[in-house]
Amino acid sequence: MGKGSKHCIVTLVERKTGHTLIGQLDDRTTASLNRRTIKIMNRLDGLFTSITADNGTEFHQYKEIERATGTRFYFANPHHSWERGTNENTNGLIRQYLPKGTSMTTLTQAKCDAIAKRLNTRPRKRLGFKTPEKCFIGYYS
């Protein structure tokens, strides 16, 4: 969530490689979340098999995403952020580009894509200092 507005982001992180996709949302409604998430997932048609989400109200209409993409939804237990560890870690990395308290009013999808690109081309220790992008392409090609 951004400061002083309804604007926010949604993050989708592939668990094995850490490959990140970020979507800009004008508000935190289920309609906005579903629309952007489906659009992001369609970029990588068929690669998503499941999503583990938190229990926010924006996910109440998750069945729409399941129907549109064939992706199964799971939910972390309330107050168990470690059940979504990869996503929580990635959100921390995104904070390097969008610090807490930053207004997201002027954030565009192009800027979200640029942040994701920077994260995906950044070597990671857990990947033997390969990039998520290289591992993702190697794993799914």
Residue 113 has pLDDT above 60, yes or no: yes
Higher per-residue confidence, 115 vs 44:
115
pLDDT at residue 81, as a whole number: 82
Nearest of 122, 126, 115 to residue 21 by alpha carbon: 115
Identity at 33, one-letter amino acid code: L
Handedness of CA 139, 126, 74, 31 (dihedral sign): negative
Cα 101 to Cα 80: distance, rounded to the nearest angstrom:
24
Reported CATH class of domain 8-140:
alpha beta
Domain spans of the chain, in order of start: 8-140
pLDDT at residue 137, as a whole number: 86
3-state secondary structure labels for all residues of 89-118: HHHHHHCCCCCCCCCCCCCCHHHHHHHHHH
| Tens digits of residue pLDDT in 33-51 | 999 999 999 888 778 888 9
Cα 116 to Cα 40: distance, rounded to the nearest angstrom:
12
Residue 53 has pLDDT above 80, yes or no: yes
pTM, full prediction: 0.87
Percent of the chain at pLDDT > 90 equals: 55
| Tens digits of residue pLDDT in 55-103 | 888 899 999 999 999 999 999 988 888 888 888 899 999 999 999 888 8
The DSSP code for 1 is -
**Beta-bridge mates of residue 13:** 20
